[in-house]
Structure 1
């Protein structure tokens, strides 16, 4: 349904709606969860939108033009068969560090350009290894800040891949031994603020604490969108499962609901013109007691929560990606009655149980010297299930569509709708949300986020806070939502 800007009356959800939400939780069988894929939207150099599949292939989105594989590669390389060159590793062989250190290496590739760099850390005594995605900094330096080292003799090496065709060329550096002395070692230990290091895609900082307010309030969203396919010359409609991310936000103490901020493409299908169905929100899934996503809500810290309906800007529904990029923000509304299942929670209210972050509808910092505009983007990437992942760097403006832009962010599919926090207090995992993960390009790294200040975002938020549950109690599939026409 479409609403004007007038305030609508509040009403408590009815028992029929509560029963429907209970059935929604039961809907997600093991097979259905396993089949759900990221709803990851990307744009190619021609300006065409695609849904990026888990295997990296591109499915046309809102059109029938097949993806051009040559447009997704880096520089052609003229038959490049040489891998990247790795040098200037820091720490160097024989160095002593403390319990924290920013690891660095110079990585170059004259033929096709560097595509990815990972730093592999080996625990003492030829122990297990752990890989961390490094981010590009000044010049050809790649780096990642690491902490939590214990005393002993460690080792590390660099694995790099270029952007040549057929999967690229790879290089692995020799192993470099270093020593850790937490009592008097060197190193570049930090104060928890994150500094100005570029983080492209790493697990959220929950070593030694519970991840803070952001990990508790953010979660994975399961949902289904209408899908159409041609069978023997006829169009057949079906529903397909997807995953996104979202965050519980402070809704100024509304009495009957909690509100989740996410991306509009995780709420409303702008191609098939339908709202999502069977929506399920799992806060703090990183804290699960098992190895990954399953169908048991009892092993997630706060269980699972079933939203009642979504709220988007009507402009998102009337256009198709990428023409509707400016309105890629939306909200799910969760009842304080009958929406919870699984592990016990402190309250029937999602916000009271998971906590919430504030939304900043003012102008955030961008294109500034220093680290004032340092922004953290977070989400539940499909490929890193069930880990809560993040990227962090100085924020700028995307020149093509006018969104906010994190040029090195490498969060993968499934992170869509996850929060952008600026400034982030890494010690407490808290800060105001200024945008959400929205889209990327097919041929370069980076993540775009919609502008919330000076747009309809606050109007849409207010509609989510006041929209009447009764309007959606008996909604049919594809109609459980409100498309708001803001002035």
Structure 2
């Protein structure tokens, strides 16, 4: 089956559209019910990064959520994603990965398409800091998702990608660096998850991370799970295994996707299997 793609406006005006004021005011894409066809029960119990209870912590590994102050490559490869969804300005997170075209960003499927429509005015802002774009605003030439997410918004395949246009004569990963990607790497790993949560108690101004030992979802999906209190806006942020805190590098193996309303304080992310790899290959060949 061919991967499904959408058109994300690549006009120069998209970069200008996302002023500091609009970026600060963008609403986190959260508290939206998941509606996958093959997981009907999830409709009653899962939401896309519904804000759980609890405040951000500052403990060492493992921890549920705190500001990333370690610097390294992840401070520039990961960033905030902005787009227009159903007439309102919304936000997610994403990450630049190693790719043949040097222009590929991985994110969540619902961060490129939701409720049957592809988002517009899509832009990636690596290293976002409180309305500022220290590494520029990278407009999407194309957005893509897995066939399962495109057809039925199946939460098991909530993976999206964007191919971004060059900026100031440079390609994305030449400018900000890139993280490696791993597929079919198994479950129950030590993981680090990053994102820009913007729903209470967070405000979207800085990069947040969680770390700990992941689990395989024992409830209704085939996803990874991690103790983490990041909220809406962190969707699409990268999960890494083999992460080195000193260099800020790792192998991306998932993205922030959803949380169960009846299990607060846990984040879930799709397993990067063959379908995620096909998506990645399609994106990097674009």
TM over 0.5: yes
Structure 2 distance, partners of 1:450, 1:431, is 17
Q: CA deviation at 1:326?
A: 1.2
Alignment of 1:321-400 (within 5 A): 324-336=154-166, 339=167, 348-366=170-188, 373-382=189-198, 383-399=202-218, 400=220
1:221/1:46 Cα in 2 relative to 1: closer, same or farther (>3 Å)?
closer
Root-mean-square deviation (Å): 2.6
Q: What SS does structure 2 have at the residue aligned with 1:352?
A: helix
| Equivalent position of 1:133 in the other structure | 57
Q: CA deviation at 1:51?
A: 5.9
| Equivalent position of 2:96 in the other structure | 248
| Equivalent position of 1:38 in the other structure | 28
1:349/1:240 Cα in 2 relative to 1: closer, same or farther (>3 Å)?
same
1:434/1:52 Cα in 2 relative to 1: closer, same or farther (>3 Å)?
closer
- Asked if 2 retains the 8 angstrom alpha-carbon contact of 1:205 and 1:426, the reply is no
Select the structure of larger CA radius of gyration. Answer: 1
Matching residue within 269, 276, 279 for 2:119 = 276
Structure 1 distance, partners of 2:57, 2:252, is 24
Structure 1 distance, partners of 2:29, 2:257, is 10
The total of aligned residue pairs comes to 270
Question: Which consecutive residues of structure 1, in runs of 5 or more, have no partner in the other structure?
Answer: 6-16, 57-71, 73-114, 119-131, 135-143, 146-196, 228-238, 287-291, 294-298, 341-346, 367-372, 468-487
| Equivalent position of 2:151 in the other structure | 318
Q: CA deviation at 1:47?
A: 2.6
Residue 111 (structure 2) pairs with residue 266 (structure 1)? yes
TM-score scaled by structure 1? 0.51
| Equivalent position of 1:125 in the other structure | none
Q: What SS does structure 1 have at the residue aligned with 2:80?
A: strand
Matching residue within 139, 154, 178 for 1:306 = 139
Q: CA deviation at 1:362?
A: 3.0
- Asked if 1 retains the 8 angstrom alpha-carbon contact of 2:48 and 2:232, the reply is no
Q: What SS does structure 2 have at the residue aligned with 1:4?
A: coil
| Equivalent position of 1:199 in the other structure | 63
Structure 2 distance, partners of 1:390, 1:52, is 15
Q: What SS does structure 1 have at the residue aligned with 2:174?
A: helix
1:20/1:327 Cα in 2 relative to 1: closer, same or farther (>3 Å)?
closer
1:351/1:263 Cα in 2 relative to 1: closer, same or farther (>3 Å)?
same
- Asked if 2 retains the 8 angstrom alpha-carbon contact of 1:42 and 1:52, the reply is no
Question: Which consecutive residues of structure 2, in runs of 5 or more, have no partner in the other structure?
Answer: 35-40
Q: CA deviation at 1:301?
A: 2.0
1:362/1:45 Cα in 2 relative to 1: closer, same or farther (>3 Å)?
closer
- Asked if 1 retains the 8 angstrom alpha-carbon contact of 2:179 and 2:250, the reply is yes
- Asked if 1 retains the 8 angstrom alpha-carbon contact of 2:33 and 2:46, the reply is yes
- Asked if 2 retains the 8 angstrom alpha-carbon contact of 1:410 and 1:445, the reply is yes
- Asked if 1 retains the 8 angstrom alpha-carbon contact of 2:10 and 2:140, the reply is no
Q: CA deviation at 1:365?
A: 4.7
1:423/1:312 Cα in 2 relative to 1: closer, same or farther (>3 Å)?
same
Q: What SS does structure 2 have at the residue aligned with 1:309?
A: strand
User: Which of 1 and 2 has higher RCO (CA within 8 Å, sep 6+)?
Assistant: 2
CA deviation string 1:305-345 (max 9, x = no partner) = 1111101112212214xxx0111001000123xx45xxxxx
| Equivalent position of 1:214 in the other structure | 74
- Asked if 2 retains the 8 angstrom alpha-carbon contact of 1:42 and 1:442, the reply is no
1:249/1:46 Cα in 2 relative to 1: closer, same or farther (>3 Å)?
closer
| Equivalent position of 1:9 in the other structure | none
Structure 2 distance, partners of 1:446, 1:390, is 13
